[in-house]
């Protein structure tokens, strides 16, 4: 396939994370990347798997409604993406759905061209356990949550900073991020929906951020505790990493097509603080 003209396709997909050991391919484990690459190769009768690149590497148990990936295929195989879309939706398991497949614009990269990602974390608070019909999609916090306290805590974390206190370190990776939105509201059914939006996230960052503001919202911790942790970019064991099943990747946003290449170049540059 190396001698062929390659076409880059963009795929938008959704999955229920319970049956996956995360996004990234891992030998002997069922992962979203592994399933997708396997089925793309199978339905297109490729001699070898076609590597896919995602916008957000979700952890084991995390769901997605708005995951975006790209894949490079030989032009005669890729076409306009309609054949791949039709075949994948006949073949894929029920917990993985490809919503759209289309040719990517020049300069598109699912990971590096994204200018922000938005997650939702959903919580049922109080002594009554969640409705059985949604229990795989929401976390349970036994104490009542004060949303005013929670949102006041979340607001202090917005902006550009080193989020090392809320991330699991990876060798050579920076933990500097820009947190754009972080707030919760109660839905009509009583579920608390927290929106977390940033230019990018490091490992376990969303669930750790939620765990920190939940601790303030329940009254177990105060705002001074949170501010002290946030000021020191070293992983703090007192921050609870919330369960994975409450988290959903909702949306990945990209700039206009004529700005994609510039965004890729910017994203590949190591972040730094002023």
Catalytic residue, candidates 12, 59, 109, 125: 59
156 DSSP assignment = T
Q: Are residues 132 and 235 in the same domain?
A: yes
In a domain, 47, yes or no: yes
Measured distance CA(90)–CA(226) in Å, rounded: 48
Average pLDDT over residues 75-103: 96
The pair of three-digit structure tokens given for residue 169, joined into one six-digit string: 């370190």
- At residue 271, the pLDDT reads 86
| pLDDT at residue 39 tops 50 | yes
Do 230 and 207 share a domain, yes or no? yes
3 state SS of 94: coil
At 215, the pLDDT band (50, 70, 90 cuts) reads very high
In a domain, 271, yes or no: no
Task: Say if residue 251 is in the same domain as residue 183.
Answer: yes
Query: Residue 24 burial (CB < 10 Å; 0-12/13-18/19+)?
Result: middle
Q: What is the pLDDT of residue 78?
A: 92
Q: Which residues contact 259 (CB under 8 A, 6 or more apart)?
A: none
Q: What is the pLDDT of residue 1?
A: 45
Write down the residue that tokens 């409705």 correspond to: 131
Claim to verify: residue 123 and residue 252 sit in the same structural domain: yes
Is 25 an active-site residue? no
CATH assignment of the domain containing 76: 3.30.70.580
Name the pairing type of β-strands 116-125 and 139-141. Answer: parallel
Q: Is residue 172 part of a domain?
A: yes
Q: Is residue 121 part of a domain?
A: yes
List the beta bridge partners of residue 217: none
pLDDT in tens, 216-272: 999 999 999 999 999 988 998 899 999 999 999 999 999 999 999 999 999 998 888
Backbone angles phi, psi at 32, to 5 degrees: -65, -45
Task: Say if residue 96 is in the same domain as residue 159.
Answer: no
On whether both 128 and 82 belong to a single domain, the answer is no
The residue out of 72, 103, 134 marking a domain boundary is 103
Residue 1 lies in a domain: no
Q: Is residue 125 within 8 Å of 249, Cβ to Cβ?
A: no
Whether the CB-CB separation of 32 and 19 falls below 8 Å is answered with no
Are 159 and 178 contacting, i.e. CB atoms less than 8 angstroms apart?
Answer: yes
Which range marks the domain in which residue 199 is found?
116-256
- Name the one residue in this structure whose structure tokens are 């391919």: 25
Q: Binding site for substrate: what residues are annotated?
A: 119
Statement to judge: residues 64 and 134 lie in one domain: no
Residue of 214 and 3 predicted with greater confidence: 214
pTM for the full predicted model: 0.95
pLDDT at 3: 57
pLDDT at 102 over 50: yes
Residue with tokens 């376990």: 204
**For residues 36 and 10, is the Cβ–Cβ distance under 8 A?**
no
- pLDDT tens per residue across span 105-120: 999 999 999 999 999 9
Residues 97 and 139 in one domain: no
pLDDT attached to residue 171: 74
Q: 95 and 128 share a domain? A: no
Residue 49 has pLDDT above 90, yes or no: no
Q: 14 pLDDT exceeds 80?
A: yes
Q: Are residues 95 and 120 in the same domain?
A: no
Bind-site residues? 119
Residues shown for the chain: 274
Residue 34 lies in a domain: yes
pLDDT digits (tens, 9 = 90+) for 167-201: 987 777 899 999 999 999 999 999 999 999 999 99
**pLDDT higher than 60, residue 2:** no
What CA–CA distance (Å, rounded) separates 209 from 239?
8
CATH number reported for the structural domain that contains residue 137 in this entry: 3.30.70.660
CB distance 22 to 59 below 8 Å:
yes
The answer to the question of residue 193 being in a domain is yes
The whole-chain average pLDDT of the chain stands at 95
Count the domains in the chain: 2
86 and 10 fall within a common domain = yes
Single residue among 63, 80, 103 that ends a domain in this structure: 103
């Amino acid at each position: 396939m190396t001698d062929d003209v390659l076409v880059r396709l963009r795929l938008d997909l959704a999955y229920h994370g319970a049956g996956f050991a995360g996004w990234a391919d891992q030998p002997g484990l069922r992962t979203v990347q592994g399933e997708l690459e396997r089925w793309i190769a199978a339905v297109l009768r490729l001699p070898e798997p076609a590597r896919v690149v995602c916008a957000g590497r979700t952890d084991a148990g995390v769901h997605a409604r708005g995951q975006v990936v790209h894949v490079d295929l030989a032009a005669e195989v890729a076409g306009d993406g309609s054949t791949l879309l039709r075949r994948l939706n006949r073949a894929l398991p029920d917990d993985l759905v490809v919503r759209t497949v289309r040719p990517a614009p020049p300069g598109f990269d699912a990971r590096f061209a994204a200018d922000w990602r938005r997650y939702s974390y959903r919580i049922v608070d109080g002594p009554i356990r969640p409705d059985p019909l949604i229990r795989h999609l929401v976390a349970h916090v036994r104490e009542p949550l004060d949303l005013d306290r929670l949102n006041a805590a979340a607001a202090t974390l917005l902006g550009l900073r080193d989020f090392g206190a809320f991330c699991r370190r990876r060798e050579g990776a920076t933990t500097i991020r820009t947190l754009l939105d972080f707030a919760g509201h109660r839905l009509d059914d009583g579920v608390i929906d927290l929106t977390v939006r940033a230019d990018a996230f490091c490992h376990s960052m969303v669930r750790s951020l939620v765990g920190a503001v939940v601790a303030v919202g329940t009254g177990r911790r105060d705002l001074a505790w949170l501010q002290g942790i946030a000021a020191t970019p070293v992983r703090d064991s007192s921050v609870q990493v919330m369960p994975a099943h409450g988290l959903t990747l909702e949306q990945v946003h990209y700039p206009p097509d004529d700005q994609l290449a510039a965004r890729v170049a910017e994203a590949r540059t190591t972040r730094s603080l002023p």
